Amino acid sequence: MKFADLGLTDELLKAVEAAGYSEPTPIQAQAIPQVQMMRDIIAIAQTGTGKTASFVLPMIDILHHGRRRARMPRSLILEPTRELAVQVAENFEKYGVNHDLKMALLIGGVQMGDQVKALDEGVDVLIATPGRLMDLFERGKILLTGCELLVIDEADRMLDMGFIPDIEFICEKLPTTRQTLLFSATMPPPIKKLADRFLSNPKYIEVARPASTNTNIAQHKVFTSARGKRETLRELLRTDEVHSALIFANRKTTVRELNKSLQRYGFASGEIHGDMDQSSRIAELDRFKKGDINILVASDVAARGLDIKGVSHVFNFDTPWHPDDYVHRVGRTGRAGAKGRAFTLVAPEDAEAIQNVEKLTGSALPVFEVAGTKDVREPREATEGKEPKAKKAPREKPERSKPKREPRETEARETVARRKPAQPELRETEAPRKPAHAEPRRSERRRPDPEDERPTEPGEWNGPVPGFLSLSAL
């Protein structure tokens, strides 16, 4: 089947041909005619199957005829992440080059001024993330009553990110006569409930088993330890003919630390995660696409829907917590019929997570052995080719013989003798004299100091000899 067999306009076919495509993918061949017939659809397809074009192409044909109005977009596409929204916008620019359609992009991380200005001028296609759309709607900057077509893309990812309440709110504000297209890689119960509520007699399209992975991707698991993961990863990057690679980690802190580690060892790597502002994320993606760096360490913010050509390898530095994320991560390679390789590093604490992944995909991942790796900690700086410094042996402390302890009474008498000069022995009936104001005893080794004769000041001791120093206490 050719794109010409799908009933697309000549202008659109020219744009598709200029983009280098001649035959539609299975999801495009099934979805495009249904969208042109103005039917609601539920499309279940794994990532990397070309589902973005399956709704962009017919939307351009449908919206080609019509008039736009200020603050009232004619169609709405909801995306879970900024990166996916930007990618869909790029698809509209590429395929709509021969059509006079105006598009606006509403995403967070950028100023609202230009977005509000574009809405005031009127748009045919509004591509938005739920958060920014809700913000502008509550400010009264946008009206949804004129929206004729709604696309909910990556619905299962919306569920993971907690956007379902926002989507329900948005759907309630849209006209009930609209056309709704729902695309998802999996169909969990909350998504089915959402579809039953807001779609009208939808056409169900499924081109692959839910949560299945691309057969063009060779997948392996590599057993290692938590502290040996970095060395194992570096060995794979050096020996497996890596042209370009995406490395996924579960935590943003791990992404940052792993990128710094790879750079210390001489790899051309970058990073992308949710704590980066939008301009930095786009700049890092552009560096990766242009080949300035060939390794991109990412959190799951980049796992779904990003169309990056030529990715030869995907590495799961951490086994994903949600098994669905595994499918989307490895789907970044093996795209458009190309071959790809995916490795998942499995530490003992990842045993349950990898079992859930294998249960979802329906097959056990083959084990890949990595030679020459050791279970060592990551150094603070690259030390390849350098022998580790030998640890110094601890110095032995000489044994000290403990003096023989004298009886308590003898010890106390010697202590008093050292501190006080000998006093004349007292008779039993004679009590020791206690001077009312005993002056401090001057040492016979130094000359008298006039300062000693000064009156005592508050806080200075000038009382009697303490009881524990007297012979009676002994």
DSSP 158: H
Distance CA 380, CA 382 (A): 7
Quote the DSSP letter at residue 72: B
> What confidence category does residue 390 fall into, taking pLDDT thresholds of 50, 70 and 90?
very low
Higher pLDDT, 197 or 376: 197
User: Could you count the other beta carbons within 10 Å of the beta carbon of residue 110?
Assistant: 16
- CA–CA dist 42, 31 (Å, integer): 9
Mean pLDDT of 122-141: 94
- 3-206 folds as Rossmann fold (3.40.50)
Are the CB atoms for 249 and 255 separated by under 8 Å? yes
pLDDT tens digits along 169-214: 999 999 999 999 999 988 889 999 999 999 999 999 998 655 566 7
Distances (CA, A) of 363 to 214, 360, 408: 13, 8, 80
> How much of the chain is helix, strand and coil, in % rounded to 5?
40, 15, 50
| Domain edges within the chain | 3-206, 217-361
- 217-361: CATH topology is Rossmann fold (3.40.50)
% of the chain exceeding 70 in pLDDT: 75
Percentage of residues in the chain having pLDDT higher than 90:
54
Q: What is the pLDDT of residues 39-86, one digit of tens each?
A: 999 999 876 678 899 999 999 999 988 888 999 999 999 999 888 898
Task: Indicate the pLDDT class of residue 281, thresholds 50, 70 and 90.
Answer: confident
pLDDT of residue 388: 46
Average pLDDT over residues 434-463: 49
How many angstroms separate the Cα of 449 from the Cα of each of 186, 419, 442?
A: 96, 21, 9
Buried b (16+ CB within 10 A) or exposed e, 198-227: bbeebbebebbebbebbeebebbbbbbbee
Provide the β-strand partners of residue 222.
345
Collapsing DSSP to helix, strand or coil, 164 comes out as helix
Q: Where are the beta strands (DSSP E) in 153-251?
A: 179-184, 203-206, 217-223, 245-248
The answer to whether residue 373 scores a pLDDT higher than 60 is no
Q: Residue 372 burial (CB < 10 Å; 0-12/13-18/19+)?
A: exposed
Q: Kindly indicate the confidence band of residue 386, based on its pLDDT and cuts at 50, 70 and 90.
A: very low
How far apart (Å, rounded) are the C-alpha atoms in residues 133 and 331?
Answer: 28
Structure tokens at 80: 């879970």
H helices of 184-298, in order, are: 189-198, 229-239, 252-264, 278-290
Quickly state the pLDDT bin for 269 (edges 50, 70, 90). very high
Give the highest mean pLDDT range of 17-31, 274-288, 415-429, 452-466.
17-31
Q: What value, to the nearest 5°, has the Cα angle with vertex 112 and ends 108 and 113?
A: 155
User: Same CATH topology for 3-206 and 217-361?
Assistant: yes
Q: Does pLDDT of 119 surpass 90?
A: yes
What is the pLDDT averaged over residues 400-411?
A: 46
- Range name among 92-96, 263-267, 443-447 with the lowest pLDDT average: 443-447
So what's the pLDDT on residue 397? 47
For 122-125, which contacts have Cβ atoms below 8 Å and span 24 or more sequence positions? Answer: 122/68, 122/69, 122/70, 122/71, 122/72, 123/68, 123/73, 123/74, 124/63, 124/66, 124/68, 124/73, 124/74, 124/75, 125/59, 125/63, 125/73, 125/74, 125/75, 125/77, 125/92, 125/101
Residue 78's DSSP bridge partners are 128, 152
Q: Is 50 exceeded by the pLDDT of residue 445?
A: no
Per-residue confidence (pLDDT) for residue 167, from 0 to 100: 96
pLDDT at 26 over 50: yes
Q: How high is the pLDDT of residue 305?
A: 57
Task: Give every CB contact of residue 358 below 8 A, 6+ residues apart in sequence.
Answer: 364, 365
Q: Distance between CA 474 and CA 472 in Å, rounded?
A: 5
Q: What is the mean pLDDT of the chain?
A: 81
- pLDDT value at residue 276: 84
pLDDT at 401 over 70: no
Between CA 279 and CA 110 the distance in angstroms is 8
Higher pLDDT, 251 or 407: 251
